[in-house]
Amino acid sequence: MRKNPRKPIWPTLDTRTQLEAILAVVRSDLPSPEVLRAVRAIAVLEEVGSPEARQVLEKLAQGSPYALPTQHARAALQRITWNPEGR
């Protein structure tokens, strides 16, 4: 039992360092607001499904294979191709 229950418990330097390292990894895995915006726009283009929307998706699908928007654009094109009616 602590002597003074009102005194806050601060983590040790080692624990704090470990927690900061974990937070850095978690934060680095989160997509940026710009990437999230692009992914949402790709979902809208897929839903629209017009020839013009498909052209934009094809252009986006030519990006870096490691980029999240490129991956989503390629997946959207596959879904459109698989289900051309879209509904």
CA distances from 17 to 12, 20, 23, 25, 72 (A): 9, 5, 10, 13, 36
Residue 12 one-letter amino acid: T
pTM equals 0.64
- Condensed to tens digits (0 to 9), the pLDDT of residues 35-60 reads 999 999 999 999 999 999 999 999 99
- Condensed to tens digits (0 to 9), the pLDDT of residues 69-86 reads 999 999 999 998 877 665
- Condensed to tens digits (0 to 9), the pLDDT of residues 6-42 reads 766 777 888 888 888 888 887 777 788 999 999 999 9
> pLDDT at position 9, please?
72
Give the contacts of 72 (CB within 8 A, at least 6 positions apart): 38, 39, 42, 43
> pLDDT at position 32, please?
86
The phi, psi pair for 29, rounded to 5°, reads -85, -15
Sign of CA dihedral 25, 68, 41, 60: positive
